[in-house]
Structure 1
Amino acid sequence: MTPEWTKNIIYFSSLLSSKEEFNPFFEVLSGIFKAQKIPFQLLPKTNDIWARDYMPIQIERDDFLEYRYDPDYLLSTRKQDRGSKTYPDLVCDALGLKTRKTDLILDGGNVINSSTCLIMTDKVVRENRYRYSKKALIATLHEEFKAEKVILTPWDRLDYLGHIDGVLRFIDEETVLINDCYKDDFDLIRLLRKNGLKTEFLNYNVKKSYKDNWAYINFLQTEDIMIIPTLGTDEDEQALNQLAQFYLGYHKNNKIIPLRSEAVIQYGGALNCISWTVDAF
């Protein structure tokens, strides 16, 4: 599998540049890339901004896994929910990108990986229950993702999306960083350590945690840069200082950059959610 720290091109939904409510945010974001001489492109034919959720997952340089983007939160009878669905095959066709299709139902916000280890919340079991037993699902995940190790963590039902990218991120091949709100989830921690992973934790020393501080771990990462969402709160500096120590290589090269991100966070996602990163194809 292709981990985030090896990727070199970033894509965003074209809606970030065309919708008025996102214009100021996107101007600052795109300005960062231009100043750093980091390439980025816009995805056509998208119906929402959450590119991470619907775009294929890069397994190898020329191997992009296109899954069934039919998560339960898009199956609502509410018109606005159905209307927000993006069809990844249309986007990929417009890009000229060939993909390998699987019948697995999932979304990219529930995928975090190193080169050998795939981590998802076990919401993926529920969403594929009519096609796969849990045992068969895990075997299929191994096969489709070419993963040596598959870890399904407990789904936090407070997050109806069931995504993993607000829970933890890889620091390196052997270590994961766990978000502050999950530092006392001993079942999660035991499971990760049982599977041979080391664990580190974000911690915020404040009287009252800000409701959106989950977003700090939902950063955008490539081989050249880390952009950390900030909120204008007391936790900002603490999060940035800790991330600088956990991702020391970026910090030493002045490649950790904060970005006020309330413009997207208010809709339930942050910088990993709005980006699709690839090792250039």
Structure 2
Amino acid sequence: MITDKETNKLGLSPLLEKRYPLFFQNFKKALDENGIEPAYLPKTKDVWCVDFMPVQISESEFVQFKFDPKYLKPKKYHKTISDPSLICAQLDLSPSVTDIIADGGNVTRTKNKVIMTTRVMEENPTYTVRHLTDKITELFGIDQLILIPTQPDDFTGHSDGMVRFLDENTLLVNDYSKEPDQEFVRSLHAALHNTGLEVLELPTSIFDNQRTDDATGDYINYLHMEGVVFLPTFNRKEDDQVIKQFEELFNGTSIVPVASNQLSKDGGILNYISWNIKK
């Protein structure tokens, strides 16, 4: 698979500037200073591009999941559902299409491994676990699909707000020591332990938020592109600690803080809004 650190092109929704002007101003400045000129995806109905856009397998291959998540079933959300086929047609992109229901935000990837939460099982009840994992593994051309428990009260059930690959052998995971549901924490740690990967914890202050759909403090939802990591910051005491930790972890990569409070209040941060690919 194409990994985040290989990507050099960024797609964003044109709605981002209108809905989150303060955030957009900060983000666009950071992009400009790092020589990244985003493309604006046509016909988007929401800003969370990673969810509905296809997943890149190679420079010429993409996989399009069926974008029909259960969290958007209530009628009030119907107007926010983008049609990826219309967007891809405008981009002259012809991805392989599967009937599997999943979001790109639930695809945390490295070259030969992908991590998804068990939400993908809930979204596809007609599949057995074995059949679904085998099919996704085949679609991605990977060696291993790792399933982890869904974080309690997480609206979307995505993995990219929980864990990220630092490299082929190392995972970054949120510090869940303050999570009220310690059974979830034990299950998560067991699932990660069984991968055989090294696991490094990142500070998080998401448990200070009054609402469970507030992503403020979720530093792990950074945007990683070729030579640069755009790191969300929140004007919280953990900011400086996390910036320093990222500078040590991502040696040789520019760490660019981006004030993200306006965006995070609505449950998503930098990886959520980004469709970053390699061209």
| The two structures share one fold, judged by TM-score above 0.5 | yes
Which residue number in structure 1 is paired with residue 261 of structure 2?
Answer: 262
> Distance between the aligned counterparts of 1:72 and 1:249, measured in 2?
40
1:26 is aligned to: 24
In the alignment, the residues of structure 2 paired with residue 231 and residue 87 of structure 1 have an alpha-carbon distance, to the nearest angstrom, of 32
Deviation at 1:209, TM superposition (A): 5.5
From the superposition, tell whether residues 246 and 213 of structure 1 become closer, same or farther in structure 2 (CA, over 3 Å): farther
* 2:272 counterpart residue number: 273
Whole-Å Cα distance in 2 between the matches of residues 57 and 109 of structure 1? 10
Code of the aligned partner of 1:14: P
Partner in structure 1 of residue 15 of structure 2: 15
Residue 231 of structure 1 aligns with an amino acid whose one-letter code is F
In structure 2, what residue type is equivalent to 1:3? T
- Residue in 1 aligned with 2:141? 146
Tell me if the contact between 1:123 and 1:155 (Cα under 8 Å) persists in the aligned partners: yes
Secondary structure in structure 2 of the residue aligned to 1:249: coil
Q: Who is 1:168 aligned against?
A: 163
8 A Cα contact 2:216 2:264, kept in partner: no
Q: In 2, Cα distance between the equivalents of 1:16 and 1:25?
A: 9
Q: How does 1:185-200 map to 2 (within 5 A)?
A: 185-200=185-200
Counterpart of 2:46 in structure 1: which amino acid? D
Give the structure 1 partner of residue 104 of structure 2. 108
- 1:151 is displaced (CA, Å) by 0.5
2:117 matches 1:121: yes
Q: Secondary structure at the match of 1:217?
A: coil
Q: 2:246 aligned to 243, 247, 256, which one?
A: 243
Give the letter for the 2:37 counterpart: P
Tell me, in whole angstroms, the C-alpha distance in 1 between the residues paired with 2:21 and 2:264.
Answer: 15
SS at match of 2:57: strand
Give unmatched runs, 5+ long, in structure 2. Answer: 210-214
Taking only aligned residues, the RMSD between alpha carbons, in angstroms, comes to 1.8
The residue identity in structure 1 corresponding to 2:136 is: L
Identity of aligned residues (%): 34
How many residues of Structure 1 are paired with residues of Structure 2 in the alignment? 269
**C-alpha contact 1:181 1:214 (8 A) present in aligned 2:** no
2: CA distance, partners of 1:198 / 1:214: 23
> Residues 105 and 272 of structure 2 are in contact (CA less than 8 Å); yes or no, is this contact kept in structure 1?
yes
Give the aligned residue type for 2:275: W
Query: What one-letter code is carried by the residue in structure 2 that aligns with 1:111?
Result: V
Q: Does 1:233 align with 2:236?
A: yes
Q: Which stretches in structure 1 are left out of the alignment for 5+ residues? A: none
AA at the equivalent of 1:259: V
Does residue 202 (structure 1) correspond to residue 202 (structure 2)? The answer is yes
Instruction: Say whether the 8 Å CA contact 1:227–1:259 is kept in structure 2.
Output: yes
Tell me if structure 1 keeps the 8 A contact 2:101–2:123. yes
Whether 2:42 is the aligned partner of 1:47: answer no
Deviates more, 1:230-239 or 1:26-35: 26-35
Question: Which is worse superposed, 234-243 or 168-177?
Answer: 234-243
CA contact (8 A) 2:216 2:265 kept: no
Cα distance in 1 between the residues matched to 2:176 and 2:232: 17
TM-score by length of 2: 0.91
Aligned residue for 1:181? Answer: 176
